[in-house]
Amino acid sequence: MRIRTQSARSGFTLIEIMIVVAIIGMLMAIAVPNIAKAGKTARRNACMANIKNIESVIEQYKLEQRTAPASLGVLVSAGYFKTEPTCPEGGTYTISPEDGEVTCSIPAHSSSAITTTDGAGQ
């Protein structure tokens, strides 16, 4: 009698452990892609904020210097930026000489781009 009750309480059965592991696996399968996507969206938003910031600085430069800056390096050497802004995902910024519009070399980072990877938009 005593031995039976002890063996019944001696821990989890293999089936119970397998169920718990399966539940944890399902939760991971749901959570991991969402976390990865959130990081990508955050880097894209940071890049778009950089672009807006650069464009407003270009407007200021044009008002004061009466010419458009040729590159970001010009803005740094003229004292408008302490350091050159960089894309969080490693893209490079180019300044359009006509209208001063800034674009990132990663197509999804320009403000007019529509995300095609998930279709969720912004």
Taking CB under 5 A as the criterion, which residues in 37-66 touch Zn ion? 47
Nearest Cα neighbor of 91 from 70, 109, 117 is 109
CA nearest 63: which of 47, 80, 76?
80
Which residue lies nearer to Zn ion by CB, 72 or 109? 109
In the bound state with Zn ion, the residue whose beta carbon lies nearer, of 75 and 109, is: 109
Smaller CB separation from Zn ion, 6 or 122: 122
Q: Of the candidates 72, 75, 102, 104, which one interacts with Zn ion according to CB under 5 A?
A: 104
Of the residues 106, 108, 111, 113, which one makes contact with Zn ion according to CB under 5 A: 106
Q: Is 87 in the site for Zn ion (CB under 5 A)?
A: yes
Instruction: List residues binding Zn ion (CB under 5 A).
Output: 47, 87, 91, 104, 106, 109
